[in-house]
A and B are shown apart, each in its own frame.
Chain A
Amino acid sequence: MAAWDLTVTVEELGPEAPPLKVSVTSDLHIGGVVLKIVEKTQIKRDWSDHALWWEQKKQWVLRPSWTLDKCGIHADARLSFMPQHKPLRLRLPNGTTVLLRASFSAPVFRCVMGICRILNIRRPEELSLLRPVEEKKKKKDKSPEEVYDITGAPVSPDSMLTLSNGMPAHFAQSPEYEAVYKILSISQPAPAPETIAKKYRSSNLVEKAQVNSRWLDSSRSLMQQDINENDKLILRFKYYTFHDMEPKTDAVRLTQLYEQARWAILLEQIDCTEEEMMLFAALQYHIGKVSLTDPQLTSSPAMDDLDSALQCLELKLDEESGSSGTDMLDTMAPAPALHDYLKIFRPKRLTLKGYKQYWFTFKDTSISYYKSKEESSREPIQQMNLKGCEVTPDVSIAGQKFCIKLLIPEPDGMNEVYLRCENEQQYSKWMAASRLASKGKTLADSSYSSEVESIESFLAMQRTNPGATSAQTDESINTHSLVSPRYQKKYKPKQLTPRILESYQNVAQLSLTEAVQRFLQIWQALPDFGISYFVVRFKGCRKDEVLGVANNRLIRIDLSVGDVVKTWRYNTMRQWNVNWDIRQVAIEFNGNVNIAFSCVTADCKIVHEYIGGYIFMSTRSREPSETLNEELFHKLTGGHEAL
């Protein structure tokens, strides 16, 4: 067979170097070609990650046993010999950017698997890569953002060694790497309100649909999609079905998911009510506080959880058995109580006008008051059991007003009572006691002191200058950092703080993991959760409409009003297919319901992949040992192009 020269560019020889000419025959297999190239470069190094890229055809030549002829490579081909794994700048859901080595030759689906293995995120099928929004060049003045380089991490850490604290071994190589792991696994401090406002864009349905046009094609490689070395991509959770979440092993996954959810809420990418926003804010505050104040936690989240779980268990055992004697004795010790002069005001009673001073005692879950301290041995004027009551702060630092509003349920309604304290310390104690009592806990409860502390820190928050824009550093935080721009505009920080505080009392006792999980749960319970939007045009319709793709259904939405027009569930779906020539998706449902639409804002491959992806997600079993069925995924999402 006649020999001919194959032109190959080798990156390692430098950009200026002329391409190598390798003499080959058409029946030479690719492995032989690679061998010849390596010999010709006369460079001694590990070439195992290198492969041939055929630029004109935009494809990799990866099968070593195929001959040049079979691959269709002739003398006119210009091949490049380059590493398959190259550095990629990756923006994570928490907003930080890491530089890591990703596969440019494997389909994006597998590339993401590799990335997730490095980052220690389980269930990589739920994530995918997005192209970044094209930034306007004029904003050059911005200082370059920090990029954490972890290109030294092995690209395929097959045996996932993890340290006792849940950190994968490849992060233990240096303090810098450990620091990166912390960034990955611990939620970020609250952003400055300006940052939120800057990132914010009005989010109507069309805007929301735009995001989804940027997903990469899972069945093709990065190179095939014009992504080059050192390019920037965004890693995101794409499919909103989070399978088999396990706080102990999912530190990074949980944190990143939380961050994605938090930004979705701060930027109003998902709608929520004011009450929900306040609860989200309270949880963010709490999560931020707990991750900062507990140094142990930062070092080893998993261990710490285990510890606290153990502690919890011990406590429970003690409670249940009561056998250890000491605990019983402790509970027998005289119950702690609060005593002080406070002022009381009851708006409903006409006899009491304004605040009047009495001697108050707080014991168990009840407040009693007496005319004076001397009379406290007698029958109280009134005794109020706070169990089940609503406690609301009514505080103004500037006005030195520290009131506790109590709504105490009674058979004939709610008894409204205001208690006025003299100063912050007094207020914090009585407020904490009231809150615990409302949940049926007494002062003896172990959470009392932390409750007092958190109230004090909230008061401190109000004392700080509302104009301060610093991010969450220690105790102080601008509450505007916790809500979306809409509420930043609607409320001043000092109006916002008490509202957040109100929600905060319901979550203040949660551990870090619990708080993160609660946040995710509330997020997932939002009516619009997990819907990815596309602007489409239904066959036979003249105007654009919106198609919402969720984990269990497709939703047809009126573009102008935003109302749901129709819902189809996947389990009534008989088949769907894509006509790649006219770029149209056709779906048939039970009962001879047929729909077809073309996609306006995104390629129909993306819509097709979303639907197929969700069907793939629903096939996953609950068994943790299950391996990912890549083949099935591509079958469901690939389309003819992938085959």
Chain B
Amino acid sequence: MMDDIDAMFSDLLGEMDMLTQSLGVETLPPEPPPSSTTKEMNFSIGFTDLNASLQELEDNDLDALMADLVADLNATEEKMAAERSGTADAPSSGSTLATPTLNDFSFPSPTAAPAFMPTPAPAPAPAPAPVAPTASTSPLPPPQMSKPSKEEIEAQMKADKIKLALEKLKEAKVKKLVVKVEMTNGSAKTLMVDERQTVRDVLDNLFEKTHCDCNTDWCLYETNPDLQTERGFEDHENIVEPLSAWTRDSENRVLFKERKDKYAVFKNPQNFYLWKKDKATLKDMKEKEKEMLLEENFCGTSIIVPDLEGLLHLKEDGKRSWKPRYFLLRASGMYFVPKGKTKTSRDLVCLVQFDNVNVYLGKDYKNKYKAPTDYCFLLKHPQIQKESQYIKYLCCDDEATMTLWVTGIRIAKYGMSLYDNYKTAVKKISVATSWTDKINSNVSTPSPTPKAKAANGHAPTPAPEPAPQAAFPPPPLPSKSMLPPPPPDPVLPPPPPASMSGKGPLPPPPPPSSMSRGFPPPPMDDLPPPPPMDDDDGEMPPDFLPPPPPATGFPPPPPCGGGALPPPPPDPCLPPPPPPVSFPAGSSDGGLPPPPPPPPPPPAAAAPRPAVRKAGPPPPKRTTPVSSAPAGPDLMSELMLAMQKKRGQQ
């Protein structure tokens, strides 16, 4: 009986893999017909459609996206592994499970150009000895403990499998979006976000990708060209939520930029809480007094909202004219004094309460709506994307007043969360700076978490860049698309195009130039490699995530850094080198993965750490559940049945 269930489970898991796998392939690549099972949203933000979105993805974006996917999956797997009884080696199982994902993505099409294949072949070079063994070949390594009886072990394994299955189902239900985030310099990053991620998570991710200074003013910003509005997302918001409100043909954009007003209230609380005082007093406010103000207003049993009041212009529902009214801000909402009344509480008329609306800045409303000034803000339900009588438009005399009101409303709406966000942001800086220090002393990568590391696949120095990538199985790509490393970050001048394929030694990456440009920490993931010349002409099948360039074809990292730079220090954090490069491409459908080939000798510069990166030979068993799971009823019922049986047995 036990065996039956076992078998059944393997089948079920296999089946699920197939399902998720097929979906995974479907959602990402542009060509396949839309899957009927994918009802959940998986469209991309910032692109008109999925095709376009993937077409537009630049190589580095795709790489990053890929890394995100893997990281995501990894996080789940690792979490599961951690949950498992202490017997299994968590990181290793995580990596085992994770890598296949990548594999699946890399091998979707049999049209892979063989031209590229050779590159992987010599790959053994960078693989470190210790890695491969850890990455066990079985997706669920049997517990190593000798104590428990065989039955116990089996039972445990079964429980693990159930957990895994359930976790997968759950994971598959998570809504995900591809977002294009625009930088201030006109470039863009494309990210995969899921509904569990907060804006804070995304910011952290972007910090790593952009080498910005991580100060607290950075924020994600939404613009709506129809309404000419802008709104900075709050750090605690789930990013997917506001994005889901966009219409499919939306021209809304997400920007990543610094906004002084984001946390101005915590930096200079006196400007908001003592706004009535004269400017000189406010300017000379001592730090101690500022702290006191924060303590008073944010640390008590109740958050105190600044007592704003004053004349604002209101555009009445659906009308074109702007009428001046005397407004007051209270924790419960925004009120105005009706004609002929005083501003005592009981006479006030409520314009709006904040439960269901967000506050947005209106841009150029003097033109658009004949507003008295350009300092306008509006309150609307986030779902509303076009002009409507349900939007409340307000106009202030000057920018300071507008900031005052908008911030006041945010405090009233978000309360403590806002302060918590700020405190987290401040903490992040200190972490970031301490990391930067470390980088400067050439110690390690600046990524604070393994996940983040995985997410952007960067290395501390430009030179070793290819090495981490080598960890991934080289994808069979048509030669055109196989641009080696991702194109340089747009900030950098594009390095001269060099030879394309992997056969020649790479042109030396341009780290020196980047350094001279005042790039803060050592360049990261998207640095130096020569830009792909022709990736933009559509020929290449965009569905391939341009795999990271195989390391083997390139000169070892040290030489390339050697030009103008001091030789890169050995990097302990490098990802484990790819042990088995030679596994068959077709093995992605079920079955146990082949045992990893003996680990190749590690490359000189790279001393990969298995715990951090997924390295193992990708057992091509599972796919990343990028898209919503099909969750077919029969699968479910079978699973339930099996579980009930199992429970019955115990």
Enumerate chain A interface residues (CB-CB to B < 8 A): 241-242, 245, 271-276, 279, 321-323, 325, 328-329, 332, 388, 390, 407, 409-414, 486, 506, 517, 520-522, 524-528, 552, 562, 567, 571
Contacts and interface: CB of A to CB of B under 8 A. Distances in A.
Nearest to B383: A409
B301 interface: yes
A379 to B, nearest CB: 14
Interface string B123-167: 000000000000000000000000000000000000000110011
Nearest to A567: B276
Interface stretch (B341-349, B456-464, B474-482, B519-527): B341-349
B384 A522 contact: no
A521 B162 contact: no
Interface in B154-205: 162-163, 166-167, 169-170
Nearest to A440: B241
Contacts of B296: 552
Contacts of B640: 329, 332
Contact of B346 (A242, A272, A388, A506): A272
Interface string B304-329: 11010000000000000000000000
A85 to B, nearest CB: 33
Contacts, number: 114
Nearest to A244: B301
Contacts of A274: 346, 350
Interface in B356-396: 356, 381-390
B345 A412 contact: no
A332 B302 contact: no
13 contacts: A271-B345, A275-B333, A322-B166, A325-B162, A388-B381, A409-B356, A409-B390, A411-B247, A411-B386, A412-B388, A413-B386, A524-B300, A571-B292
Contact of A273 (B302, B345, B636): B345
State the main secondary structure of chain A at its contact with B.
mixed
Nearest to A552: B296
B453 interface: no
B382 A388 contact: yes
Top 8 A-B pairs, shortest CB-CB distance? A413-B388, A409-B383, A525-B331, A271-B345, A411-B385, A524-B302, A409-B381, A521-B302
Contacts of B614: none
Given A273-B350, A388-B356, A562-B344, A521 B301 contact: yes
A567 B307 CA distance: 13
Nearest to B348: A273
Nearest to A569: B274
Given A272-B346, A522-B332, 11 more contacts: A272-B345, A276-B332, A276-B345, A325-B647, A409-B382, A411-B386, A412-B388, A521-B302, A524-B301, A552-B296, A562-B342
B347 to A, nearest CB: 9
Size bracket, chain B contacts: 35 or more
Nearest to A268: B346
Contacts of A271: 344-346
B346 A486 contact: yes
Given A388-B383, A409-B383, A528 B345 contact: yes
A520 B390 contact: no
B538 to A, nearest CB: 32
B15 interface: no
A526 B344 CA distance: 12
A91 to B, nearest CB: 25
A178 B385 CA distance: 59
A273 B167 CA distance: 49
B582 interface: no
Given A328-B166, A522-B332, A525-B305, A412 B300 contact: no
Nearest to B226: A411
B40 interface: no
Contacts of A567: 276
B439 interface: no
Contacts of B353: 275
Determine which residue in B83, B169, B300 has the highest number of CB atoms from chain A within 10 A of its CB, and name it: B300
A245 B289 CA distance: 25
Determine which residue in B302, B307, B331, B647 has the highest number of CB atoms from chain A within 10 A of its CB, and name it: B302
Contacts of B647: 325
B173 to A, nearest CB: 10
Contacts of B333: 273, 275
